[in-house]
Amino acid sequence: MTSTALAAPPLIDGTLHGVRIDASFAEAFPMRATRLIVTAHNLSWARHAAVATTGFATSVIACGCEAGIERELSPEETPDGRPGLALLLFAMSSKELGKQIERRVGQCVLTCPTTAVYAGLPPDATPERVALGRNLRFFGDGWQSGKVIGGERYWRVPVMDGEFVAQESTPMLKAVGGGNLLLLARDTDSALAAAECAVAAMRAVPGVVMPFPGGVVRSGSKVGSKYPALGASTNDAYCPTLVGLVRHTELDAGVRCVMEIVIDGLTEAAVGEAMRTGMVAACTPGIGPGLAGGLLRISAGNYGGKLGPFHFHLRRLLGEKADT
């Protein structure tokens, strides 16, 4: 199913199929990103490498980068005619992105049987490039060799199963990180069902990943903490167990579980389309749980517009006019 198949009816009094859509917005920020293509002798080994490469990459708060598997690729879609996967990697700076690519590809792709790695963006996508195999070639201890094909340099590094092939560099884009949805439900089963359905639909949108485990995060955070050493802490306004204990809560009576989906994308449009698709999927009967299934509201996290320049207004994504 493609995202374009998930059309939404007009909002009625701020609701979609009876599920309340908050008059709020998700606040996202600039990132640097690239797409890599990992291929292997078969899809199983390509996936082993891809999963390892994108592991421990949920949040730049502590992981250095945010990454995920974008989609599977058929042999007809890869540079070497083998099965593969497209990966998206995001970081807060060009320098950090380069560091993360080198470490992750070096430790997780170079080491994985039969794999190769290529740039997944067109050469003319951007003039900015970041190293891919440029430094990893030195693992060949002088036995490595390079060749230019179609204006792009590739490195061949001898390894015990033959050769590891890596494109020298990959284009680097200005991207968007931190798009998000908060799914408020009456219980855990309902929240998980809504989140799983939304993520499944969002994965059909090109150019985005949801970097948390299974695409979902239960430990939503706010900026700051009572402990000075922490830059982020639990989003207490959305914690059901703290209703009645905190000074301010965003939870209505009946909300017993909240799940968050964080979206990173190569473009602002891709993040917005993923958010729209996720909301429609979660709310539509027969696709997601909807109101009858226990999904009560959809909201989003923001910091009053002070965190980032990209503001994704939930109701506008669903077609509501800006001045209504």
Which amino acid is present at 279? M
pLDDT tens track of the chain, all 324 residues?
344 568 888 999 999 999 999 999 999 999 999 999 999 999 999 999 999 999 999 999 899 999 999 999 999 999 999 999 999 999 999 999 999 999 999 999 999 999 999 999 999 989 999 999 999 999 999 999 999 999 999 999 999 999 999 999 999 999 999 999 999 999 999 999 999 999 999 999 999 999 999 999 999 998 889 999 998 899 999 999 999 999 999 999 899 999 999 999 999 999 999 999 999 999 999 999 999 999 999 999 998 887 899 999 999 999 998 765
Relative orientation angle of helices 94-108 and 43-53, to the nearest 10 degrees:
140
Q: How many helices (H) and strands (E) does the chain have?
A: 5, 18
pTM: 0.95
Both tokens assigned to 73? 């690729």
CB contact at 8 A, 84 and 71:
no
Structure tokens at 242: 């703290």
For domain 31-171, give the fold.
Alpha-Beta Plaits (3.30.70)
**What is the SS3 assignment for 248-311?**
CCCCCCCCCEEEEEEEEECCHHHHHHHHHHHHHHHHCECCECCCCCCEEEEECCCCCCCCCCEE
Tokens 């985005």: give the residue.
208
Query: Which residues share a beta bridge with 148?
Result: 153
* CATH topology agreement for domains 3-24+175-317 and 31-171: yes
Q: What is the CATH number of domain 3-24+175-317?
A: 3.30.70.520
Can you list the alpha helix ranges (DSSP code H) found in 82-187? 94-108
Going from N- to C-terminal start, the domains of the chain cover 3-24+175-317, 31-171
Distance CA 64, CA 200 (A): 26
Question: In this structure, are residues 118 and 49 in contact, taking their beta carbons and an 8 Å threshold?
Answer: no
Residue 116's SS3 state is: strand
What distance in Å separates the CA atoms of residue 303 and residue 86, rounded to the nearest whole number? 32
